[in-house]
Structure 1
């Protein structure tokens, strides 16, 4: 949910999906109720800036490559309170979704540039460059690749000075529950990095305030 800076936009492409493969393995650290905390770097050419961020998983359906949750950004300069958004995610499983986004103004070139920033992506780079990785087997890979798209603001209005027009490229580690991501929006500062770590088991430690999702 970065501050928007005007740049040029890019056209979207049509994505593909495949069938007949095995879904990513179930991971206890990627489950309903699990919480994560960390930072999002929103630095620009004018100044260095990072927001504290908390995320909680509200729904997860590996079979259909879907998950959703809430994201809370703290110490946002133009907001009087923490800003909470609801997001929905696509799990790259080459069954329901490939590495090519095909929407949200992301071209295959944008996809490749962002995925390439994750070291765990390197084994699939050559195949993804061909067809988005339609035939890549991710069923036993210790990392899960996702896209998170914020859908709406939960506790503030759209005039809060932030934008949720873009989305996050996300890499999740099944071994320790750490998350790294990069925000993409052609009208925002590029490659804003999201870094989160699992907070206990999601049932203790940090917890969100009570918000009603509609």
Structure 2
């Protein structure tokens, strides 16, 4: 990802990301790392209206009993792994990660950042555009 106009950076900041798709087999709704507790997970996932129908099963086992293969949303976690290109102290941190919800119907992505040492529930919204088509 390339971030432009970062207040304390002279040049764009480039970071490398990795992600996890919550498929309930390899990854559940419980993060189990990056300092996130089950309570943190529930608080963040419930910010997505599309998650509400899943909550009761997720509270039991992280969602292991769910079949999400035909669910109209894809849930993920995105984590910046390292800074690729950055000038001297840009003031950014990559300590946290994002809880992400992708809408299969319109291609929109909503996410909430989690870092126990940062402001809670910072929101990132991405919407697809088709250039007038």
TM range, smaller chain: over 0.9
Question: Using CA pairs below 8 Å that are at least 6 residues apart, which structure has the higher relative contact order?
Answer: 1
Between Structure 1 and Structure 2, which shows a larger proportion of helix residues?
2
Match of 1:56 in 2: none
Structure 2: state its 5+ residue gaps.
Answer: none
Match of 1:146 in 2: 76
The answer to whether 1:156 aligns with 2:82 is: no
* 1:160 Cα deviation from its structure 2 partner: 2.2
Q: Which stretches of structure 1, 4 residues or longer, exceed 3 Å deviation after superposition? A: none
Structure 1: state its 5+ residue gaps.
Answer: 1-70, 205-214
Using the alignment, how far apart are the partners of 2:102 and 2:120 within structure 1? 21
TM-score, with length taken from structure 1: 0.59
Correspondence list, 1:6-45, <5 A:
none
Number of residue equivalences: 131
Using the alignment, how far apart are the partners of 1:147 and 1:115 within structure 2? 11
Aligned residue among 28, 33, 44 for 1:103:
33
TM-score, with length taken from structure 2: 0.93
Using the alignment, how far apart are the partners of 1:155 and 1:146 within structure 2? 25
Using the alignment, how far apart are the partners of 2:70 and 2:103 within structure 1? 12
Using the alignment, how far apart are the partners of 2:25 and 2:73 within structure 1? 16
* 1:158 Cα deviation from its structure 2 partner: 7.5
* Aligned alpha-carbon RMSD (Å): 1.5
C-alpha contact (below 8 Å) 2:9/2:87 kept by paired residues: no
The answer to whether 1:80 aligns with 2:10 is: yes
Using the alignment, how far apart are the partners of 2:97 and 2:44 within structure 1? 11
